[in-house]
A = this chain, B = another copy of it.
Amino acid sequence: MSKNTQVLIDSLPEGKLSESNYKLVESPMPEASEGEVLVKTIAFAITAGTRAGLQGSASYAGAPQTGIVMNSLGVGEVIAGDNSSFPVGMKVQARTGWQSYSVHKTSELTEIPEGTDPLHYLGPLGINGLTAYFGLLEVGQPKTGETVMVSAAAGSVGHMVGQIAKLKECNVVGVCGTDVKCEKLISDLGFDAAVNYKEANFRQTLKESTPNGVDVYFDNTGGMILGSALFRMNTGGRIACCGVVSQYDTSSPEPGPKGIPGLLVNKRIQMQGFIVFDFASEYETARSEIIKWIDSGKLKILTDEVKGLEAAPTAFVDLLAGGNIGTRIVRLDLE
C-alpha cells in the first residue's frame, strides 16, 4: 500500500479523445499535512463535462494541462489525518480525480452521512443530481402540465431531469442516441416519450412527440438538438443551458444554431446558462428532498458501473460516444 495508482492526462486530444491521451502511472503515496486528510477512493464518476477541460480554450474548469491527474468527482474513505470533523473511517465526497488515493483540505470535502450509500453521492445526491434539480426547478421553472424536453436524456443528469419533471406533473420528452435508451426512459423511468436524434426523421418525430410544443428545454447538448428544440419552443419558453456535449469531443466547435437570436425574439424565449456551484448554499435542502424521492421509490437511480482505474480512459471515450445509460461510475472498491 505504498504506491498511488493514477491516470494522468498525457496529451491533449487534437480531435476526438482517445485512450492514448491518458497514461497509467504508479506514484508515491501522498501524505496529509496539517489540516488535510488522506482519502482512499471508493469510486468516481465519469461525466461529459470534464471533456471541456481538455479543449483548447479555458472553460469554467480552467485551462487545459497535461501531466496532471484526470479530474473527477469521487467518493472515498478517510484513512489518515487528524481532524475531528473528518475522522478516519468517515465516508466523503471529494474531487478525487482518477487515482486510488488523494489528499484534501477539509473545506473541499462533503461528509456522507452514515447509512447512506456513498455511490449516491456520485448520482442523485452528487453533482449530477444537484445539476438536474437546480437546473430544472430554479432555471427551467416548470409548471404543472407543461412539456419538458431534455437532451442526453439517458445521461447522468438527463435521466434525473426527466424523473424530477414527472414528479412535478409535467409531460416529459427525452432525446437520446439509441432505441434501447429510448425504451428504457419510457418503460423504466416513466418518460412520456423519447426520441432518437440519430434517426433520419428526428425533427418530425420530435414534432409528433411534442404536440403541445415545449415549455422548458433542459439542454445538455447544444448543436443540432438545441436547434431542433428552438423550433418546438412555445412562446415564453425557457431553455436551461447546462452543457454542450455535442461540442466537447472536438477541437473546433460548430457555429450556434440558426434561429438565434431570431426565434428567441419571436417567441420571447429565455436561454439561461447555469453552473450548479452557484447553488452551493442550497445543496443540503435539495439533498433532503432528493433522498425522500429515492426512499419513496419515486426517483430511480440508473448507474452504469465499470471496474478498475485502468478501465477509466476507455469508459470515458465510450461515454463521449453515448455508450452509457445513466451515471457512469468507475469503482475501485471491487478490485
Q: Are A270 and B270 interface neighbours, CB within 8 A?
A: yes
Q: Does A143 contact B (CB under 8 A)?
A: no
Q: Are A273 and B270 interface neighbours, CB within 8 A?
A: yes
Which of A85-93, A251-259, A294-302 is the contact stretch? A251-259
Contacts of A272 in B (CB 8 A): 264, 268-271
Name the contact of A274 in the complex, choosing from B226, B263, B268 (C-beta under 8 A). Answer: B268
Whole-angstrom distance between the Cβ of A152 and the nearest chain B Cβ: 13
Contacts of A60 in B (CB 8 A): 265-266
Q: Does A278 contact B (CB under 8 A)?
A: yes
Contacts of A256 in B (CB 8 A): 255-261
Output the nearest chain B residue to A275 by Cβ-Cβ distance. B268
Q: Are B268 and A222 interface neighbours, CB within 8 A?
A: no
Contacts of A274 in B (CB 8 A): 265, 268
Q: Are A255 and B255 interface neighbours, CB within 8 A?
A: yes
Q: Does A244 contact B (CB under 8 A)?
A: yes
Q: Are A253 and B258 interface neighbours, CB within 8 A?
A: yes
Tell me, in angstroms, the Cα distance from A333 to B276 when the chains sit together.
59
Contacts of A263 in B (CB 8 A): 273
Q: Does A267 contact B (CB under 8 A)?
A: yes
Whole-angstrom distance between the Cβ of A263 and the nearest chain B Cβ: 8
Tell me, in angstroms, the Cα distance from A289 to B34 when the chains sit together.
61
Name the contact of A260 in the complex, choosing from B52, B260, B265 (C-beta under 8 A). Answer: B260
Sorting the interface of chain A by its residue count into under 10, 10 to 19, 20 to 34 or 35 or more gives 35 or more
Whole-angstrom distance between the Cβ of A38 and the nearest chain B Cβ: 33
Q: Does A243 contact B (CB under 8 A)?
A: yes
Whole-angstrom distance between the Cβ of A134 and the nearest chain B Cβ: 12
Q: Does A241 contact B (CB under 8 A)?
A: yes
Q: Are B219 and A261 interface neighbours, CB within 8 A?
A: yes
Q: Does A28 contact B (CB under 8 A)?
A: no
Output the nearest chain B residue to A237 by Cβ-Cβ distance. B273
Q: Does A187 contact B (CB under 8 A)?
A: no
Q: Does A113 contact B (CB under 8 A)?
A: no
Name the contact of A266 in the complex, choosing from B247, B267, B273 (C-beta under 8 A). Answer: B273
Q: Does A115 contact B (CB under 8 A)?
A: no
Q: Does A205 contact B (CB under 8 A)?
A: no
Contacts of A254 in B (CB 8 A): 255, 258
Nearest 10 CB-CB pairings of A with B: A256-B256, A264-B273, A256-B260, A255-B255, A241-B261, A265-B273, A271-B271, A241-B264, A244-B262, A270-B272
Chain A contacts to B: CB under 8 angstroms: 52, 59-60, 219, 222, 226, 239, 241-244, 247, 253-275, 278
A-B contact pairs, 23 of them (CB 8 A): A60-B266, A241-B264, A243-B265, A244-B261, A244-B262, A253-B258, A253-B262, A255-B257, A256-B257, A256-B260, A256-B261, A257-B260, A261-B271, A261-B273, A263-B273, A264-B271, A264-B272, A264-B273, A265-B273, A266-B275, A268-B272, A270-B271, A270-B272
Other A-B contacts than A241-B265, A264-B271, 17 sampled, CB-CB below 8 A, are A239-B261, A242-B265, A244-B261, A244-B265, A247-B262, A253-B259, A253-B262, A255-B255, A255-B256, A255-B258, A261-B273, A264-B272, A265-B273, A265-B274, A265-B275, A266-B273, A270-B270
